[in-house]
Amino acid sequence: MKVVKALADELSEADLAVFGIEDHEDMAPPTGITSIGYSLDALPDRAGFLDEAARHVAHARRSKHPLCFALVAFDHGTQGDGAAGHIAEEAFLTEATARWRDVLRAEDLMGRWGENEFAVVLVNCSTVSAVQLCWRLREATPEGHSFSAGLASFQGTETVDDLVDRADNCLTQARAKGRDRTVAEGLVDLD
C-alpha cells in the first residue's frame, strides 16, 4: 500500500479502485500526524493520564521505587488569533511534545493536562534526576519558547491527587518567580 500511496498522483481513479481507494482524497495522510509520525492527539487527555498515573503510583508504592510527578506549562503561547493562531499553537505543541518524547524514557508517562500544560510521571526517578530531566526538556523545547515546571516527589503514601496538588503548588511558585524555571519541593530555587 505504501507504493500505491507514493504513486497516487500518477494513478487513475480506476487504478485506485483496484486497491479499494475511491479517489485521490482518500490518499491524504490523516490529520494531526506530522512527517515524523507523531500526533499530539496520541497523548492521553487528563482523565486517561490520571488513570495511567494511578497505576504508576500504585506500582511505586508496592515496589518502594522513587517516582516524580511534574506539571509543565508553557510560559507564553504562539502569536496569532482565531483559527490561524490555534493551528499555529497546535503545531508548536506537537513539535515540542515530539521533541520531549525523544528526551523522556519509554517508561515515563506524558499527557495533556490543559491547553498549554502537560503532566509527566517519571518512574524510578529521584527529585534531582527529575530536575535534570526538566533541563533536558527545556533544551529540547523549540527556540523562542520557554516553560515553567512544578515537581513533586512521591513519598510512599500519597494519591495521584496529592501529587497533582503539590506539583501545581510548585508550578504556581515557578510562575510567580519569573517563569522559565523549575520548582521542586525541598530544593532551592532552580532557574
pLDDT at 105: 94
Does residue 5 contact residue 30 with C-beta atoms inside 8 Å?
no
pLDDT tens digits for the chain (191 residues)?
A: 444 444 555 556 655 454 555 654 544 433 433 434 557 778 999 999 999 999 999 999 999 999 999 999 998 766 666 777 778 888 899 999 999 999 999 999 999 998 889 999 999 999 999 999 999 999 999 998 999 999 999 999 999 999 999 999 999 999 999 889 999 997 755 55
Query: What pLDDT score was predicted for residue 79?
Result: 61
Cβ contacts of 159 within 8 Å, gap of 6 or more = 54, 57
In the chain the domains, ranked by start, together with CATH numbers, are 1-30 (no CATH), 40-184 (3.30.70.270)
C-alpha closest to that of 22 among 10, 33, 8:
8
Q: What is the pLDDT of residue 140?
A: 95
pLDDT of residue 34: 40
| pLDDT for position 1 | 41
